[in-house]
A and B are shown apart, each in its own frame.
Chain A
Amino acid sequence: MGQMNMRKFYWFVLILVIHDFHVFAVGDNYPVGARQAGMANAAVMLSDLWSISHNQAGLVSLDKLTIGFFHENKFIVSKYAYQALVIAVPVHSGVLGASVSYFGYSSYNEIKAGLAYGKSFGKILSAGLQLDYCNTYVTGEYGNRGALVVEAGLQSQPIENLLIGVHVFNPLRAKIAVYDENIPTILRMGVAYRFSDKVILAVENEKDMLMKPVFKTGIEYHIYKNFFIRTGVMTNPTQLCFGIGYIMNDFQFDMAVSNHPELGITPHFSLSYHL
């Protein structure tokens, strides 16, 4: 099969998937962050810069201005690149964040821009809120359609080393105008246990109101000095994920690979910098 034929086949599968499994839906909440991707996105209870996409309550762990860039190429299809730019600024009462992400190409694309705020209430509890504008562009008559979406999350540590997180995306059930297209409502809940400074094990459940529940589990191992390795697995469909991370002074570099059973491999990269 020639290169072009292979491409066509991919397109065919993708269209099938869009219709049958809703891998993509208008205004879907694609996760950001290669650390999380390496742990199969079992990350609703974790806290770092990328919490801005998984659970804004996790932003409170940042004590310095931090910026990050994320890039992934879904199934290595050139037109399915996804990238995001994020920034988080600790302020007097909490942490403010902003993010913008872009998926697609000139004829079809989705842009999500969000303003986040995380606040901690003592050591054991933090809460976060985000306001997004989700825009979908399709060339032709459809044009630009967008909606305002709310996200909210909580993180707590009821006993030492046990982290619990919950996050809801679009609780107010916003819709993309005109065609009555639903932006999904997604509830994520997860528990992680930090066995030592070196190992953290996370388990998460994600439920889109209209989709089958997704169970995810991931582990991160601080294997050597500044070096991390990660792996994870999720269901519906079953996907395996692997990742590595490296910290150098104020820079953190993460890389991950996930494997979709039908659509193949997706690489993820992220880079963050503490100012």
Chain B
Amino acid sequence: MRHIILTTLIFLLSLAKSVSQVENDPFYSLEDIIGDQPESTGNEVDCTPILDDLQYFKENPLNLNSATFSDLNEIHFLNDVQINNLLAYINSNGQLLSVFELQYISCFSNDVINKILPYITVQPVKEQEKIPWAKAIKSGRNQFYLKSKRVLEKQKGYEPVNDAMLSQNNSHYLGSPYQCYFRWMYNYKSFISAGIISEKDAGEEFFKGSEKQGFDYYSAHFILHGSGIIKTLVIGDFDVQFGQGLTLWTGFSAGGNTSGLLNSLRNPQYFTAHTNSDENRFMRGAGVTISSGSYDFSFFLSDNRMDANVLPADSTNSGKLTVSSFPTSGNHTTMHEIAGKNAVKARTAGAHLDYVSEHLKIGISGIYYGFNAIVEPGSAPYDKFSLSGSSDYRAGFDYRLRYDKFTIYGEEAFDKHNSVAMMNSAVFETMPQLLFCIQQRKIDRGFHGLYASLPGEGSAISSENGVYLGLELYPARNWKILAGFDSYRFPWLKYGVDAPSFESTFSILLSYLPSREFTLSLGIKNDVKSGNIITEHNPSVVLADSKKQNFRFNVSSHLSPDLSLIYRIEQVNFSRTSSLEHGFLALQDIRYSLEKIPVCISFRYAIFDSDSYDSGLNACEDDLLYEFSSCSLSGKGNRIYLVVRYEQSKKICLWLKFTQTYYDRNTLNTGLNFINGPAKSEIKVMLRIIM
């Protein structure tokens, strides 16, 4: 008995320590949810929706005893197996008495418990609340965000130009190099939320020229989560998530296959506010989810505008607008980009019916969209099956079945031209120490991912057949292994790949976690990709495999609640035909919370050296709240950044980030972003006010 008390006490103490550690570290474990996103290389990933959820739960911890599957899903750290085990545990053993019970639930490792602790609580279940409207308007919470950033060096596009050049389409940026962002958000608990977002990207005009209305982009939304028959009502700009995303899924979706091993199961939230800064792919209109018993019915209408690459008027199309593609950058910085701004009107309607029971969830969904323009992709062979015409519809069937320690899920969808997309998965929880999953996917050529989020490695326009195997293994105390193998075929051509091709990815991550504060890990990734080889002697197209091996050794140590140090060494070997290129990265992170003043600091010093772009390296970075950047480094040089968070009070918080990348050469970038010097520096500031 004494022994048990002692162990509990030790556990309690260590838990308390880790809680404070998490709270002091605003960046903790975000990388786990988002993963290394190779496709977002060099960009900032706007993960506002995820952080909105986490921040809400931090202030209003989720009561595990009353949480539903979708509530738990919003914490983002738990996979399907863990959520179901938790629900099953509560079902059979009654309500949890304390958070310490979590460690008795299968698949809840200390690591996972640590991550979710700041966002959960365990309390007896209370009666469900009704929305007190009068109170809601008075006691709701208002948040304001102001953000700005700019590159400090002079870039070519911002140099003054003469009148002759002014009329040229792409010779210069029209606006200033400052990016400006404003967001107002209102919420009353989780019942009501509303918001306005406006943004001006770097290089866009502000209150002049083509942007007389001020900001380049405005967005607003209102969402109501009721407890009665109307489960969700949304008006304004919103994202839609149905099924597994093959028919309809806009906005952010975490992780790809290779990052989130067992997290490929998506738990749709039907409608969410459109809060990230994607200026094109979202719905503008209204949507409603009606809930009755085990059935959820969702329906929406949208009338939105999208940027497009407009083709010159053609006599054959009787004056109807013709476009070649829809760019997604949201930048309107040059004459050419402004010409395509909001050029196409897209009308969209969609519906979804879900049946949910304890073990089974099935749904059907459909979407129709039409443009006031005709889409005519380029004539290159790889574009033969690209999005074309002026309207399309898709319908899909999705399912999730859980029986004992076995889960299957997936979605099958087809479109107007009877092209099919399929994704089917099975997760086996054989023992608490071993989980594995199999996923199959098949996307026909001609199936388009507009407003959908297709599984797989390729971009939304390419057809792909693939199989993914994933494994999560706890071979011994303190050891963890994640492994995945993904092999896929592209039956049609892609840009730069002029024949059907076969590719594969293998990854393994071995971690040693001797204590809560210390992790040592070794990751190995092997990518085989295909590409054209063009030689003078042989003008016909030959494909050759390129192989990229990546070795990453990472040590992360939380020396005290206030101080964390992370060390990483990474090596890349890239080979194609007979050439072999190398890349190398070494970095040191320091995260420190000051004692006397409410300031957190995150600092990085990194040194990199790669022979080419292909052997370049990616490193995720700490950033301002709501941003998560992955920096792509190639060439020789070093990179430093410093993020400072100053929390003056619960109400006012200020973030500042300075980055500088120094290269061992005299000029950087090409075109409008050309810099005459060896370094690129950027400064970002953000202010949050809560009322």
- Distance to closest chain A CB from B657 (angstroms): 19
Is B560's CB under 8 angstroms from A171's CB? no
B584 at the A interface (CB under 8 A): yes
Is A158's CB under 8 angstroms from B559's CB? yes
Type the 1/0 row for A135-159, where 1 means its CB is closer than 8 Å to any CB of B.
0000000000000000000101011
B contact residues around A205 at 8 Å (CB) = 569, 586
A contact residues around B590 at 8 Å (CB) = 154
Type the 1/0 row for B275-304, where 1 means its CB is closer than 8 Å to any CB of A.
000000000000000000000000000000
A contact residues around B557 at 8 Å (CB) = 156, 158-159, 164
B489 at the A interface (CB under 8 A): no
B151 at the A interface (CB under 8 A): no
B contact residues around A168 at 8 Å (CB) = 588, 605
Is A187's CB under 8 angstroms from B560's CB? no
- Report the bound CA distance from A154 to B605 in whole Å: 12
A-B contact count (CB 8 A): 68
**Which residue of A154, A173, A212 contacts B565 across the interface (Cβ within 8 Å)?**
A154
**Which residue of A156, A173, A191 contacts B662 across the interface (Cβ within 8 Å)?**
A173
Is B637's CB under 8 angstroms from A209's CB? yes
Is B638's CB under 8 angstroms from A185's CB? yes
Contacts A189-B567, A207-B584, A210-B636 given: A124-B560 contact, CB under 8 Å? yes
| Interface-located stretch among B363-371, B394-402, B413-421, B512-520 | B512-520
A contact residues around B636 at 8 Å (CB) = 209-210
Residue of B nearest to A154 (CB): B565
A contact residues around B335 at 8 Å (CB) = none
**Which residue of B518, B588, B605, B637 contacts A158 across the interface (Cβ within 8 Å)?**
B518
- Report the bound CA distance from A159 to B518 in whole Å: 7
- Report the bound CA distance from A154 to B590 in whole Å: 10
Is B586's CB under 8 angstroms from A189's CB? yes
A32 at the B interface (CB under 8 A): no
Question: Which residues of chain B from 585 to 600 have any CB-CB distance to chain A below 8 Å in the complex?
Answer: 586, 588, 590
A14 at the B interface (CB under 8 A): no
Type the 1/0 row for A178-220, where 1 means its CB is closer than 8 Å to any CB of B.
0000000101010100000000000001010110110000000
- Main secondary structure, interface of B, reads strand
A174 at the B interface (CB under 8 A): no
Is B586's CB under 8 angstroms from A159's CB? no
A contact residues around B517 at 8 Å (CB) = 158-159
- Report the bound CA distance from A164 to B518 in whole Å: 12
A166 at the B interface (CB under 8 A): yes
Is A210's CB under 8 angstroms from B586's CB? no
- Distance to closest chain A CB from B23 (angstroms): 20
For A, the interface residue count at a CB cutoff of 8 angstroms equals: 23
- Report the bound CA distance from A168 to B636 in whole Å: 16
A contact residues around B39 at 8 Å (CB) = none
Is A207's CB under 8 angstroms from B560's CB? no
- Distance to closest chain A CB from B513 (angstroms): 11
Contacts A154-B565, A189-B569 given: A207-B607 contact, CB under 8 Å? yes
- Report the bound CA distance from A125 to B562 in whole Å: 12
B682 at the A interface (CB under 8 A): no
B664 at the A interface (CB under 8 A): yes
B609 at the A interface (CB under 8 A): yes
Question: Which residues of chain B from 518 to 558 have any CB-CB distance to chain A below 8 Å in the complex?
Answer: 518, 555, 557-558
**Which residue of B559, B638, B664 contacts A125 across the interface (Cβ within 8 Å)?**
B559
Is B607's CB under 8 angstroms from A156's CB? no
Is A166's CB under 8 angstroms from B638's CB? no
Tell which of B567, B636, B662, B664 has the most Cβ of chain A within 10 Å.
B567
B contact residues around A213 at 8 Å (CB) = 571, 584, 586, 609
Contacts A125-B559, A158-B518, A158-B559 given: A164-B609 contact, CB under 8 Å? no
Contacts A158-B518, A159-B518, A209-B636 given: A187-B607 contact, CB under 8 Å? yes
- Distance to closest chain A CB from B550 (angstroms): 15
**Which residue of B565, B567, B638 contacts A209 across the interface (Cβ within 8 Å)?**
B638
Type the 1/0 row for B654-673, where 1 means its CB is closer than 8 Å to any CB of A.
00000000101000000000
With A154-B565, A158-B557, A207-B609 given, can you name 12 additional A-B contacts, CB distance below 8 Å? A154-B588, A158-B517, A162-B518, A166-B588, A168-B605, A173-B662, A187-B588, A189-B588, A207-B607, A209-B638, A209-B664, A210-B609
Chain A residues with a Cβ under 8 A of chain B: 122, 124-125, 154, 156, 158-159, 162, 164, 166, 168, 171, 173, 185, 187, 189, 191, 205, 207, 209-210, 212-213
The contact sample of 15 A-B pairs, CB cut-off 8 A, is: A124-B559, A124-B560, A159-B517, A162-B518, A166-B567, A166-B588, A173-B662, A187-B605, A187-B607, A189-B567, A189-B569, A207-B607, A209-B664, A210-B664, A213-B571
